[in-house]
Homo-oligomer: A and B are copies of this chain.
């Protein structure tokens, strides 16, 4: 029996989530690819950077747009270990990310399948293709460990 292997960008996003926890930040990692190539990556860093907008997705989107010299990331894929919040889902819309792959779902803070459901709004200008649950066991385990240690 062979087991399904995680796509490389999600493996990398999980490594970034681990680095995030090691830095005392909520463990979330994100990678942006285009045509199989990594364009940008980031982990969560609001504390370190004193920046409430410094979620992994926002940082990765800003880095990818800077690297490509354009504000739209139409042909890009975003891989992130946790369901994006409203801020990050909004940033994904503005960046015109083509495909979104995420790990664990987030009933408390997520805004894709939960709460604000940003992509499902009638006014939403751009809906990425969404693939959920990729690497979710590991992503959720990292989050559980992080919050258990801090209780």
Of B90, B95, B123, which contacts A108 at CB under 8 A? B123
| Chain B positions within 8 Å of A124 at CB level | 115
Complex alpha-carbon distance, A52 and B74, angstroms = 12
In A54-110, the 8 Å CB interface with B consists of 54-55, 58, 61-62, 65-66, 68-73, 85-91, 93-96, 107-109
Closest CB of chain B to A117's CB: distance in Å? Answer: 7
Stretch at the interface among A3-11, A34-42, A43-51, A135-143: A43-51
Please count how many residues in chain A sit with their CB below 8 Å of the partner chain's CB atoms.
45
Name A's B-contacting residues (CB within 8 A): 46-47, 49-55, 58, 61-62, 65-66, 68-73, 85-91, 93-96, 107-109, 111, 114-118, 121-125
